[in-house]
């Protein structure tokens, strides 16, 4: 993951070197060589995904001349992606983002014993219906909506037994599918409160600058630029719902038509096309993607 970027662009290599230095270990080696069970540990996956996103972002800046303050209206990120977005927008250094995500990953894993919690995707019910299922399934345990991803895809999180009940209830209430997700902890629910406390402490010791463009944050689906509020929202996000559908809809209603998914994967680009009718989602995660954006920029410059 990200190896092709590092091989193609010096700016991308510099990002991986900075992350390795910040963490005091060769996370890049794990990203590029595995083993997969080490990479998928949340304490590695979170800073690793951020590193790939910033490696692609720096390549866009150097090779394609992209400047967020000139070319973007907002930044946004799904869950840990908020840290990537903030680093891209200059609120956090890459080193600080890596350290914070290592702390976040470890704190989330330690918040609840392995196997005690779970997450499930409910396909075919809207947020209101999925929230009603979660409330009914709770039965004095934790069962909450964790992600509203849009297009009838809602993720619930909480105690394993409650999530199992939610799956069965959702099927009975018309969900097309309801299935357990292969995750290491029940993210974005009240069981993550110890992790939220750890992040509040870590963020107190971190310098947060205003982003060059506003961040549309997960827990409010509205833009924020004040450092104090960004910190508060990042803490809330650990236990709060990722309101991705509303975030994309807000940006679309504000005039955004093109959404660039910078980093590994294309899942969010697909969701954009299903949330915003006039929206175009473009994934940028490979050297070819960067070159395509460079060609676009050159063509635009030639027409001006």
Catalytic residues: 79, 188
- For β-strands 258-262 and 280-284, DSSP reports them as parallel
Burial class (CB in 10 A: 0-12, 13-18, 19+), 104: buried
Question: How many residues comprise the chain?
Answer: 304
Contacts of 284 (CB under 8 A, 6+ apart): 56, 60, 260, 261, 262, 263, 290, 293
Question: For 188-204, b where at least 16 C-beta lie within 10 A, e where not — what string?
Answer: bbebbeebbebbeebbe
CA distances from 153 to 121, 184, 245 (A): 7, 20, 9
Say how far apart CA 161 and CA 156 lie, in whole Å.
12
Tell me the two tokens of residue 144.
């909450």
């Amino acid at each position: 993951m990200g190896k092709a970027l590092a091989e193609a662009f010096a700016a991308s290599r510099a990002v991986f070197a900075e992350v390795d230095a910040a963490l005091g270990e060769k996370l890049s080696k794990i990203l590029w060589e595995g083993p997969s069970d080490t990479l998928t540990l949340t304490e590695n996956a979170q800073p690793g995904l951020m590193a790939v996103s910033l490696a692609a972002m720096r390549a866009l800046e150097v090779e394609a001349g992209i400047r967020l303050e000139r070319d973007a209206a907002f930044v946004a990120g799904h869950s840990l992606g908020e840290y990537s977005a903030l680093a891209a927008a200059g609120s956090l250094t890459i080193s600080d983002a890596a350290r914070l995500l290592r702390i976040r990953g470890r704190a989330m894993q330690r918040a609840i014993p392995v196997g005690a919690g779970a997450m499930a995707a409910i396909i075919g019910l809207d947020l209101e219906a999925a929230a009603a299922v979660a409330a009914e399934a709770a039965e004095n345990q934790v069962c909450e909506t964790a992600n509203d991803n849009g297009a009838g895809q809602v993720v619930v999180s909480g105690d394993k037994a409650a999530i199992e009940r939610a799956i069965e209830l959702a099927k009975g209430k018309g969900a097309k599918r309801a299935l357990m997700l292969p995750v290491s902890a029940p993210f974005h629910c009240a069981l993550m409160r110890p992790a939220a406390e750890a992040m509040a402490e870590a963020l107190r010791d971190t310098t947060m600058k205003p982003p060059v463009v506003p961040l549309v944050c997960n827990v409010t689906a509205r833009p924020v630029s004040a450092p104090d509020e960004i910190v508060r929202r990042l803490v809330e996000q650990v236990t709060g719902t990722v309101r991705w559908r509303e975030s994309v809809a807000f940006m679309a209603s504000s005039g955004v038509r093109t959404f660039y998914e910078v980093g590994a994967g294309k899942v969010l680009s697909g969701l954009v096309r299903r949330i915003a009718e006039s929206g175009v989602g473009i994934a940028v995660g490979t050297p070819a993607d960067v070159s395509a954006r460079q060609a676009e920029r050159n063509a635009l410059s030639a027409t001006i």
